Each structure stands twice: as C-alpha cells, then as structure tokens.
Structure 1
Amino acid sequence: MKIDLTETNSSKINAAMVQARRDIGTPAIGMVLTLVIVTDEENAYDALKSANDASHEHPSRIVVVVKRASRSPRSRRDARLDAEIRVGADAGSGETVVLRLHGELVNHAQSVVLPLLLPDAPVVVWWPGGAPADLAGDPLGALGQRRITDTYSCEHPVEALGARAEAYAPGDTDLSWTRITPWRSMLAAALDQQALSVASATVEGEDENPSCELLAMWLADRLQVPVRRTLSSGPGLTSVRLSTKDGDIVLDRADGSLATLCMPGQPDRAVALKRRDTAELLAEELRRLDPDNTYEASLRFGVARLEASTPAAAPDPAEAPADPAPAPAPKPKKARAK
C-alpha cells in the first residue's frame, strides 16, 4: 500500500501510518530499529531497494530524507514537506516513509525526522552518497547510535579516509570497512592455524579503493609490520600476501568471486570470497549497534603512516646505468717559443 501526502507535517504522517497498518490488518509494530537514509533523488531508489532487502533480516522503519534543491530565491524561502508512505509488500518487512523537503525546511530536517522515530528503539543513520565531514556533529547524525557512510562513493576515497579519521566518533562506520570482513576473517583464521611470525605484508587492489587501504592499515596496526600497497586492475581487492620465514601466506582473488588460499606446507584451497552487494553489507552493519573499536584503530593508523612504512623497492642491478667512463686527462699544452 502506498499513500501520498503533499504539504503535510510529521503529525499527519504518523496518523496516516497508523491507519495504513490497520487497513492491511497489521496494527502491531514488530520493528527493531529506525533506519534514516539521507540521500538525493539520484541515489534514493537504489538506497531504498537495498534497505528493503536488508529489512528482511532487520524489520525496521525506514525514513528516507530527500533534500530537494530549490532553483529560485522565492522557492528557497517556501518550506514544504511531501511524504510517501509504504506499508505491507511495498515496504519489505517493515514500513517506509519517503520525505521530500523543500525550501528552508532542508536546513531543519532533524525537526521533521525526530517525531517519526520509533520509541525506545535504536536509530541508525546512513548516507549512501555524500556525507558531512563530522557525522556525529550533523543534526541528523546526532539522532543515531550508529552512523554509516561509504567512502567508495566519494570523489577522492583515500582522502576521505583521512577526513573520517579526524572527525571520528564512537558509532561511525564505513561500508568500505564492511567489504573486507571476509578477508579479515580468512587471514585471521590462516594465522591461527599456523603460528608463524609475519615479517611484512602486501595488499594488492584497484587504485583509489578505500577497502584496500583499510585492510592494509588493519594489517599494519595489528601485526606491527611494514605493509606495501600495490596496484592491480581489480576488480576491487585482489590479493594479500603475508611474508614469513617459512614461506608466504597468499590469499588471491583474481575474478571477484572465488579466491585461492596458499599456506606453507599445505595444499592450495579454493575459498568463496565473492563481492557482496549493498543490501548484504547494510544487513551486516545493522547486526551490531555498539562502537567498532577495531575499525577505529585501523582508521586512526592513517594512510600517511601506511605509506611511510612501505619499504622502498631495491634497485635492480641489471637496470642500473653503467658507471660513466672516466674523462681522459687533458693533454699538456706545448710552450710557445718566444
């Protein structure tokens, strides 16, 4: 069921949702959290689809905040709120409210969202695209116990990691970090199987891929060893190599789906390591609402320190230029007869 409300307010939206639940015969609320999505019209459809898919695991009230840009000074002065309510099969396993804010109301989105939050339920705020520099200091971000961003969607993802580290607050997280959860689990399990001392590590992946940087910072922070960051054509993160005195531990994924784990003294094995979609990543983040201390430590390690710890490659003697031949000694000049 879909209900459209134009030039409305939060009180009318709440009343319409209650009536809609009664009309479809489900007056009881069985939702576990409120998910606030802050986006624009371009990304609203994909974000809402991912949130609806994730709601099958986490039934929730989804509040989508779409800030509509005003083109003229007069329209910027006029504040208007339009809403679209979805319940039943159109809203996954919960209920959805799409809010379109116009004019001056764009600067006061928190006053519209606050009355729509589920009582006594946690709040998660998600920015699928551009996010403010200070998530916890943002009026909408301040409403949430968890704040989810995706630095992969930024214009300069690696630089965005530095900005996230400077403004980090407990509860912040990043889907670029969530993408490497299977990699971290696989590498940790490999090191648990064999008590090997890692001397150095190499992380290979696409350029400007923040997941690669985060994995490299996690390895450098946890293992306290130099970590090299090398480039490949992708897709995404392609390989991790841990160097030990007994041989290398290599986790290689060339096709974005199936990986190969190589360990010293053991046969190579194939492991499933597919690239997950946004709905799966979001569902994973909604499973925990406490601060992620491991993400904080890795993020604060810093890309600059990672680059400083990268060992410089030794020059290849075969490619080194030959020593120039010594210049011939100047011939003595003959004295002129006077």
Structure 2
Amino acid sequence: MKIDLTDTTAGEINNALVRGRRAIGTPAVGMVLTMVIVTDEENAYDSLKAAEDASREHPSRTLLVVRRHARTLRDRTHSRLDAEVRVGSEAGTGETAVLRTYGEVSEHADSVVLPLLLPDAPVVVWWPVDAPENPAQDPLGRLAQRRITDLYAVERPLEILQARVRTYAPGDTDLAWTRLTPWRSMLAAALDQARVRVTSAAVEAEAENPSAELLARWLEARLGVRTDRVVSGGPVVTAVRLGTDNGEIVIDRPEGPLATLTLPGQPPRTLALKVRPLSELIAEELRRLDADEMYAVALRGEGAKETV
C-alpha cells in the first residue's frame, strides 16, 4: 500500500503510517528499530532496496531522507516536504516513509525525522554517500545509537579515513570495515589452527582501498607487527600473507567468490569468500547496536598487541 503526500508535515506522515497499518492489519510493535537513510535521488533506490531487504531480518521503520537540490528560485525560497508512505508488501517487513525535502527544510531534516521515530526503539542513521565530516555531531547523527558511513563512496577514501580517526565517537562504523568480517573470521580461524607467532604481515589490494587499509591497521594493532600494503590488480582485497617461523599463512582471493587458504605443513584448501551485497552488509550492522570497539582499534591502528 502506498500513500502519496504533497507539501505535507511530519504529523500528516505519522497519521498516514497509522492509516496504512490499520488498512492492512499490521501492528507497529513488531518493528525493532528506526532506520534513517540520508541520500540523494541518484542513490535513493539502491539504498532503500538494501534497507528493505535487510528488514526481513530486522523489521524496522525506514525513513529515507532525500534532499532535493534547488533548481529554481522558488525551490530555494520555498520550503516543502513531500512524502511517500509505504506499508505491507511495498515496504519489506516493516514500513517506509520516503521524505523529499526542499529549501530550508533540507537544512533541518532532523526536525522532520524526530517525530517519526519509533518510541523507545534504537535509531540507526546511514549515509550511503555524502556523509558529514563528523557523523556524531550531525543533527541527524545525534539522534542515533549507530551511524553508518561508506568510504567506498568518496573520491579520496584514505584522506577521509584519517579525518574519521579525529572525529570518531562510539557508535560510528563504516561499511568498508563491515566488508572485512569474512576476512577477519578466516584469519582468526587460521591462527587458531596454526598456533604460531606471526613475525610479519602483508595485505594485497587495489590502490587506495579503504578496507585494505583498515585491515592492515587492525593486523598491526592486534599482532604487533608491521603490515605491508601491497598494490595488486584487485578487485578490492586480494590476499593477506602472515609470515611465521614455520612458513607463511596465506589467504588468496585474486578474483571470484572463492579463496585459497594455505597453512604451513598443510595442503591448500578452498574457502567461500564472496563480495557480499549491500543488503547483507546493512543486515550485519543492524545485528549489534553497541559501540564497535574493533572498528575503533582498526581506525586508530592501536590497541592490545595480541593474537587476532
């Protein structure tokens, strides 16, 4: 069910959500959080599709805030809020409100979003593109327990990564870090099997890859060894090599969904290591709403010097 509202208010949007739920007989109590997505028109469809797919695991109220650029003098001087309310099969397992803001309303989107948050439920804000310099101090970011950005969406990811070190606050995370979860799990499992001391490390990836930089910093912090950054043809991270007194531990994924794990004294084995879709990354981030301490360690490149 869809309800279109033109030149509307947050109160009218809330009423439309209630009417929609009543019309299809869906209660609001099944939703566990509010997901706020802040993006532009170009990225709105893909972002909303990923959030709605993730809502099958985490039923939520999704608020998509699309800040429209002023094209005419009237757009610049006239504040307006248009909305599209979706409930039922049109909105995954939760409910969705697409909020298009014009003029001054775009600068105060938090005043529109605040009345639409589910009461007594966590709030997650996600910027697929154009994230603020300091997410925790952004007006919308202040409403959230978790704030998700994506270094893959910026032109100079390593420069922005350094800026994130300075502005980090508990609750911040980035999808460049989320993409590393399978790599980190495999490295931890490999070291559990090998039971050796790591003396050197190297991460191979395409140039300027933010996930590779975060992985290298994490290895340096957790293993206490220098980690070399080696440029490969990609895509993304292609290999991790850990030097030990008994030989190298290698996870190699030059392309495709499969990787090869090599441990000293053991035959190589093939492992699944696919590049996951956006919906899976968002679903993973919604499984925990507390501070991601390991992301902070990787971001700063510091922490306890111990086995992964």
State whether TM-score is above 0.5: yes
Kindly indicate whether the alpha-carbon contact (under 8 Å) linking 1:125 and 1:141 is maintained by their aligned counterparts in 2.
yes
Question: Unaligned stretches of 5+ in structure 2?
Answer: 303-308
- Structure 2 counterparts to residues 1-338 of structure 1, below 5 A: 1-301=1-301
**In 2, distance between residues paired with 1:111 and 1:28?**
22
**In 2, distance between residues paired with 1:119 and 1:22?**
18
1:70 Cα deviation (Å)? 1.0
SS at match of 1:132: coil
**In 2, distance between residues paired with 1:120 and 1:75?**
36
Aligned-residue RMSD, C-alpha: 1.0
CA deviations on 1:80-112 (whole Å, 9 max, x unpaired) are 000000001110000000000001111110000
SS at match of 1:131: coil
**In 2, distance between residues paired with 1:301 and 1:245?**
25
SS at match of 1:183: helix
Moved >6 Å (runs of 4+): none
Kindly indicate whether the alpha-carbon contact (under 8 Å) linking 1:18 and 1:27 is maintained by their aligned counterparts in 2.
no
1:75 Cα deviation (Å)? 2.4
CA deviations on 1:22-66 (whole Å, 9 max, x unpaired) are 111224431000000000000000000000100000000000001
**In 2, distance between residues paired with 1:140 and 1:127?**
10
SS at match of 2:168: coil
| Larger gyration radius, structure 1 or structure 2 | 1
**In 1, distance between residues paired with 2:225 and 2:158?**
21
**In 1, distance between residues paired with 2:61 and 2:27?**
14
Structure 2 residue identity aligned to 1:114: L
SS at match of 2:219: helix
CA deviations on 1:270-302 (whole Å, 9 max, x unpaired) are 110000010000000000000011110110128
Structure 2 residue identity aligned to 1:80: R
Higher relative contact order (CA 8 A, sep 6+): 2
SS at match of 2:261: strand
**In 2, distance between residues paired with 1:122 and 1:293?**
19
Question: Unaligned stretches of 5+ in structure 1?
Answer: 303-338
**In 1, distance between residues paired with 2:213 and 2:28?**
45
Kindly indicate whether the alpha-carbon contact (under 8 Å) linking 1:258 and 1:273 is maintained by their aligned counterparts in 2.
yes
**In 2, distance between residues paired with 1:224 and 1:279?**
34
**In 2, distance between residues paired with 1:27 and 1:126?**
25
SS at match of 1:93: coil
Structure 2 residue identity aligned to 1:264: P
TM-score, normalised on structure 2? 0.96
Kindly indicate whether the alpha-carbon contact (under 8 Å) linking 1:85 and 1:97 is maintained by their aligned counterparts in 2.
yes
**In 2, distance between residues paired with 1:277 and 1:163?**
26
Give the percent of matched residue pairs that are identical in Structure 1 and Structure 2. 65
In structure 1, what is the equivalent of residue 305 of structure 2?
none
Kindly indicate whether the alpha-carbon contact (under 8 Å) linking 1:235 and 1:256 is maintained by their aligned counterparts in 2.
no
